[in-house]
Homo-oligomer: A and B are copies of this chain.
Amino acid sequence: MDQIYKSIIEALIFSSDDVVPAAELIKTIKGIDGDEIKITEEDIEKSVESLNSNYEQENRAFLIKKIAEGYIFATREEYANYIGFLTLEKSKRRLSQAALETLSIIAYKQPITKPELESIRGVNCDYMLSTLLDKKLINISGRSETVGRPLLYKTTKEFLKYFALNSLADMPKPREIEEIMQDEDFLEQKRKIMMNAIEEEVEKETADETSNDNEAE
């Protein structure tokens, strides 16, 4: 087997979305380079072993594992706590985003049923609802009159306290948020224009005071 196939095998295992059986690797190579290419499962195994010993020598942070169904890349154990930290951070972010989104929809649309909430979020909200109920940020305010009479949810006093609000009426209106939510650049530009206008205004005023026949450009 040609040495080039070692790299091709590496690329294929690397990019595959799933564990790759040796037979698939052979099929792919023959599919591109022709059926006459001589390559066996044993060749694949040897290539992987050779790749792994390269990785070992070069101190790479990963290696190719052979499991029942085929080959797969994995990072070495010694990095597990770093990787765990990174994935934990990611899932934390995802969860807190989901909690915030659920709470915001309840706050603005209350009282709201679970089906309504789910149709806005597009995902099942059981977990988030029970967590928010647990933390007493929301509670059940009754049942809707619609089919199935689902429970209605609304925010609590605890919710107001949490966000330091006197009443629900103090919540920003979606329209106001819309205005704030323009692109940063846009805001920056707007600020600049406003500042210029104010400065001009101030300049003009001072000029007006000193001499009254001074033409403003």
Residue picked from A14, A20, A32, A86, most chain B C-beta under 10 Å: A86
Answer yes or no: A183 CB below 8 A from chain B CBs.
yes
| Neighbour of A28 across the interface among B11, B25, B82, CB < 8 A | B82
- Residue pair A86, B141 in contact (C-beta under 8 Å): no
Could you say which of A59-67, A126-134, A197-205 contacts chain B? A59-67
How far does the Cβ of A44 sit from chain B's closest Cβ, in whole Å? 13
Answer yes or no: A207 CB below 8 A from chain B CBs.
no
Contacts of A8 in B (CB 8 A): 61, 79, 82
Answer yes or no: A182 CB below 8 A from chain B CBs.
yes
Answer yes or no: A27 CB below 8 A from chain B CBs.
yes
Copies of this chain present: 2
- Residue pair B152, A15 in contact (C-beta under 8 Å): no
| Neighbour of A142 across the interface among B25, B79, B143, B183, CB < 8 A | B183
- Residue pair B32, A81 in contact (C-beta under 8 Å): yes
Answer yes or no: A213 CB below 8 A from chain B CBs.
no
Residues of A near any B CB (own CB < 8 A): 7-8, 10-12, 14-17, 20, 24-25, 27-29, 31-32, 54, 58-62, 73, 75-76, 79, 81-83, 85-87, 89, 111, 141-143, 152, 154, 178, 181-183, 186
6 smallest A-B Cβ distances: which pairs? A11-B79, A11-B61, A10-B61, A28-B86, A15-B83, A142-B182
